[in-house]
Amino acid sequence: MKISLVQENPVVGDIDGNASMARDYILENESFGSDLIVFSELFITGYPPEDLLLREDFLISALKSVENLSSFIKKSKVLIGLPTIEEGKRYNSAALIDRSGIIQIYNKHVLPNYIEFDEKRYFSHGNSKNYFQINDIKIGLSICEDIWDEGFLNLQKENNLDLLINLSASPFTISKKKDRGHVFAKVSEKLNIPLIYVNQIGGQDELVFDGSSTVINSKGKITFELKSFATDSLQFSYEEINKSLNKEEKLDRLKDLYDSLVLATKDYVQKNNFKGVLIGSSGGIDSALTATIAADALGSDKVRTIMMPFKYTADISIEDAALLAKNLKIDHQEIPIEKVYDAHMSKLSNIFANKKIDKTEENLQSRIRGVTLMAISNKDGLLVLTTGNKSETAVGYSTLYGDTAGGFAVLKDVSKTLVYELSKYRNKLNEVIPERIIIRPPSAELAPDQKDSDSLPDYEILDPIIELYVEKDFSVKEIIEEGFDKKIVEKIIGLIDFNEYKRRQAPLGVKISDRNFDKGRRYPITNLWKPNM
pLDDT digits (tens, 9 = 90+) for 83-102: 999 999 999 999 999 999 99
pLDDT in tens, 354-372: 999 999 999 999 999 999 9
What confidence score (pLDDT) does residue 453 get? Answer: 75
pLDDT in tens, 468-515: 999 999 999 999 999 999 999 999 999 999 999 999 999 999 999 988
Q: Which of 333, 340, 520, 495 is nearest to 413 (CA)?
A: 520
Confidence of residue 163 (pLDDT cuts 50, 70, 90): very high
Instruction: Name 268's Cβ contacts closer than 8 Å, sequence gap at least 6.
Output: 203, 205, 408
Average pLDDT estimate for 333-340? 96
Q: Which of 458, 438, 454 is nearest to 446 (CA)?
A: 454
Predicted model pTM: 0.94
HSE of 237, CA atoms in CB hemisphere, 13 A: 6
- Indicate the SS3 state at residue 195: strand
pLDDT surpassing 70 at residue 249: no
Q: What percent of the chain has pLDDT over 90?
A: 82
Average pLDDT estimate for 138-144? 95
Confidence of residue 527 (pLDDT cuts 50, 70, 90): confident
Average pLDDT estimate for 14-22? 97
Residues forming CATH 3.60.110.10 domain(s) in the chain: 2-238
Known catalytic residues are 41, 108, 144
Contact of 218 with 192, CB cutoff 8 Å: yes
Average pLDDT estimate for 225-248? 85
What confidence score (pLDDT) does residue 244 get? Answer: 61
What confidence score (pLDDT) does residue 246 get? Answer: 55
What confidence score (pLDDT) does residue 533 get? Answer: 65
The dihedral built from the CA positions of residue 451, 457, 461 and 462, taken in this order, carries a sign that is: negative
Q: Which of 270, 250, 241, 371 is nearest to 14 (CA)?
A: 270
Residues forming CATH 3.40.50.620 domain(s) in the chain: 274-451
pLDDT surpassing 60 at residue 34: yes
Which of the following CATH numbers is that of domain 2-238: 3.40.190.10, 3.60.110.10, 3.20.20.30, 3.90.1010.10? Answer: 3.60.110.10
Contact of 278 with 376, CB cutoff 8 Å: yes
Average pLDDT estimate for 366-386? 96
**What is the overall mean pLDDT for the chain?**
93
The dihedral built from the CA positions of residue 142, 143, 148 and 150, taken in this order, carries a sign that is: negative
Confidence of residue 31 (pLDDT cuts 50, 70, 90): confident
CATH node for 274-451: 3.40.50.620
Confidence of residue 528 (pLDDT cuts 50, 70, 90): confident
Q: What b-and-e string marks burial along 183-205, b requiring 16 or more CB atoms within 10 Å of the CB?
A: bbeebbeebebbbbbbbbbbbbb
Could you count the other beta carbons within 10 Å of the beta carbon of residue 330? 24
- Indicate the SS3 state at residue 210: strand
Confidence of residue 114 (pLDDT cuts 50, 70, 90): confident
